[in-house]
Amino acid sequence: MYFDGDGIKKDIDEALIWLKKSAEQGVVNAQLFIGNLLYEGNVIKNNSKEAFKWFEKAAEKGNLDAQFTIGRMYLDGNGVKKDIEKALKWFKQPAEQGDPNAQFIVGNLLQEGKSVKKDAKEAFKLFKKAAENGNMGAQFTLGRIYLSGNEVKQQDIGQALKWFKKSAEQGDVSSQLIVGNLLYEGKGAKKDTKEAFNWFKKAAENDSTDAQFTIGRMYLDGDGVDKDFEAALKWIKLSAKQDDTNAQLRAGKLLYESKDMSNGNKEALKLFKQAAKQNNADAQIMVSKMYLNGDGVWRKNNKKSLKWMLRAAEQNNNTEAQFLLGKMYAKGNGVKQKNIEEALKWFKKAAEQGHFEAGIIVDAFV
C-alpha cells in the first residue's frame, strides 16, 4: 500500500521497511520483490550482491522466477562470481517445471558443453520442449538442427520449415528470411514465390538487408510479384543504406542505366563509391568508367579513373579490371600516353586468369 499509494500517501521508504520485515519473516513474494528492486535499480539504488541474497532465499523456497534469475546472475557473473555449473543447476529447476525460457537456456548450455558436460541428446529434448511451449529461440534452433541434419538421424527440411515458420510468425527476422528462401527454392514444401515474397517482405520491413535486396530483385524481375522498377529501386537502396556492397552496386547500376531518373548519374556515382571504398572490385570499375567518361561529375578526371581501375586490378586481382587497364594503356585513354608494354603486362595478367579477349590479344603479340 505504501509502495503504490493505495489508499494512503505513497512512501517508498516506509514501503521498503514493511517489505523487508515481511521478507525477513520468510514471505517469498516479498523476498522476490526486494530482490527485483535492488537488481533493477529503478526505484532504489542498484545493489546486485544484495539482490542476489534475496533471490537466493526465494529460490531455495521453490520460487521459479527467483531460480531463473539466480541462474542468469551466475551465468553473467552479475552480483556473484560467474559459475556455469551453478547457473545450470538453478536453470534446471524452472526448466523441469516447464519454463520454456529456462528449457532453452539449459539446452544451449548442454549443447555448447562449456564448463559443463556436453549432452546433445538432452539439449535436443529441451529445445523441443521449449519450442513446443512457444520459445522463439528454441523454435529457430530446432529449425536449424533439422536443416543441418546435425543431432538428428537425418536432415528433415519439412520439419525445419515447420519450426522456422513458428519462430518467423513470432517476428524472428532470421527465420522470416530462411522461410522465404526455403519456399522460394521449393525446399521442404512446394515452390511458392508469392508466399516467399511475403516472408521476404516481413523480414525486409524488419530491416533485414538481405531481404531488402531480395525483394528489390523480385520486383525488378517480376518474380512472385508484379514488376515495379520504382519499388525495386526503393528496396535495393534501403539495403544499400545498410552498407551492403552488392546492393550499392545494383542500385548504382539501376540509376546509371535508367534514362528516366534525373540526376541519376550523380547518385549512381555516390553509391558506386560507397561500395568501391569497401573493396568491391565491380564498383571500383564503375567509378573508374564514370570518371573516365565524365558521368556524374563536373568534368572527366583521368587521374581518379586510373586510380580506381588500378585498385581493382592490383588489390582485388580482378580480371576485367586488368583487361580494361590494358585497353586504357593500349589506347592512351585515361593515361598520360600510350604504353604498349604496360598494356601487354595487364593483358597477360588477365589472360592468365582465363579472360578470353585478353588471351586473344596476347596471342596476337606472340
pLDDT digits (tens, 9 = 90+) for 98-114: 999 999 999 999 999 98
Q: Backbone phi, then psi, for 2, in 5-degree steps?
A: -65, -35
pLDDT band at 143 (very low <50, low <70, confident <90, very high): very high
Query: Which residue intervals of 120-228 are DSSP H helices?
Result: 120-132, 136-148, 157-169, 173-185, 193-205, 209-221
Please determine, for residue 4, whether its predicted confidence score (pLDDT) is greater than 80. Answer: no
pLDDT digits (tens, 9 = 90+) for 228-244: 999 999 999 999 999 99
Our separate counts of H helices and E strands in the chain read 20, 0
Task: Give residues with Cβ within 8 angstroms of 226, minimum separation 6.
Answer: none
- Cα–Cα distances in Å, from 36 out to 46, 50, 87, 91, 136? 10, 10, 18, 18, 25
Task: Give residues with Cβ within 8 angstroms of 151, minimum separation 6.
Answer: 111, 120, 121, 123, 124, 145
Give the other-Cβ count within 10 Å of 257's Cβ: 10
User: What is the C-alpha to C-alpha distance for residues 218 and 203, in angstroms, rounded to an integer?
Assistant: 14
Residue 260 has a pLDDT of 65
Q: Model pTM? A: 0.85
Under DSSP, the state recorded for 350 is H
**Closest Cα partner for 68 from 100, 37, 43?**
100
Mean per-residue pLDDT over the chain, rounded:
92
Task: Give residues with Cβ within 8 angstroms of 150, minimum separation 6.
Answer: none
pLDDT digits (tens, 9 = 90+) for 266-310: 999 999 999 999 999 999 999 999 999 998 887 899 999 999 999
